[in-house]
Amino acid sequence: MTSTPETLATASRELALAALHEITAPATVGPAAGYSAEDDGAVSLRFENRLPGYPGWYWTVTVAQLDDAEPTVLEVELLPGDGALLAPDWVPWAERLAEYRAHQAELAEQAAAEGSDEDAADEELGDETDSDEDDDLDSDDDVSDLLHAGDLDGVDIDELDEGSDDGDADDEASDEEE
C-alpha cells in the first residue's frame, strides 16, 4: 500500500535533508517550505535556500516510495520560486542618475572631510610631502616611453610578422635543396 503524499512528506523529511547535505553545505539549507505531490505519486519537498545570489529559490528534493519499501530520493535540485526570475521594477534613468549623483556628492564630502583630517595630522607632525613628484609620474610623455611604437602590450606585431616571413623563406629554400 502506497502512503499518502502528506505521510510520505513527513516520513521522508530527514532523508531529504541528508540528500541535500551531500551536495551543499548545511548552512545553505533553510527550514522546510512545504511540499507538492507529483502526478506519479512522488513528493517534492521544498526547503528555503540561503545561498547568496539566489533570492527566492528553493532546494527541492523529490522522493518516491513503492509498496512496502523505504522512501527513495529521485532528484535534488535548486529551483526558482514564484517571481525569482523576474527582473526588478524599472526605474527611470532620471531617478537612477539623481541617486548616483547624490551618492557621488556624499562620497566627495566624505573624502574632503577625511582629507582635511589628514592635512591637520600632517601639519601637527610637520610632515610635508612634495606633490610635484607624483605629478611627474602622471605625465603622458612618460607613458609613451614605456610603450613600443604605440603597442600597449609591448609587442610589435609588425616585427613578429616580418620574422615569420623570413622563417617561411628559409623553409622553402631548404625544401628546394633536398
Would you place residue 38 in the very low, low, confident or very high pLDDT band (cuts 50, 70, 90)? confident
How many CA within 13 A on the CB side of residue 166? 6
Shared domain for 52 and 15, answered yes or no, is: yes
Asked if 11 and 52 sit in the same domain, the reply is: yes
Tally the residues of the chain: 178
Half-sphere exposure of 53 (CA within 13 A, CB side): 1
Structural domain contains residue 176? no
Contact between residue 25 and residue 17 where contact means Cβ atoms under 8 Å apart: no
d(CA 87, CA 134): 45
Full residue range of the structural domain in which residue 51 is found: 5-80
H-run or E-run covering 24? none
pTM of the model: 0.49
What pLDDT, in 10s, does the model give residues 165-178?
A: 555 555 555 555 55
Decide if 158 is inside a domain. yes
pLDDT tens digits along 128-164: 555 555 555 555 555 555 555 555 566 666 666 655 5
Q: Are residues 10 and 65 in the same domain?
A: yes
Query: Structurally, how many domains does the chain consist of?
Result: 3
Would you place residue 1 in the very low, low, confident or very high pLDDT band (cuts 50, 70, 90)?
very low
| Mean predicted confidence (pLDDT) in 42-66 | 93
> Is position 175 within any domain?
no
Question: Residue 145 corresponds to which cell in the numbers above?
Answer: 616611453
Q: Which tens digits make up the pLDDT trace of 60-95?
A: 999 998 888 888 999 999 999 988 888 878 989 999
What grid cell was written down for 72?
527513495
Q: Is residue 114 part of a domain?
A: yes
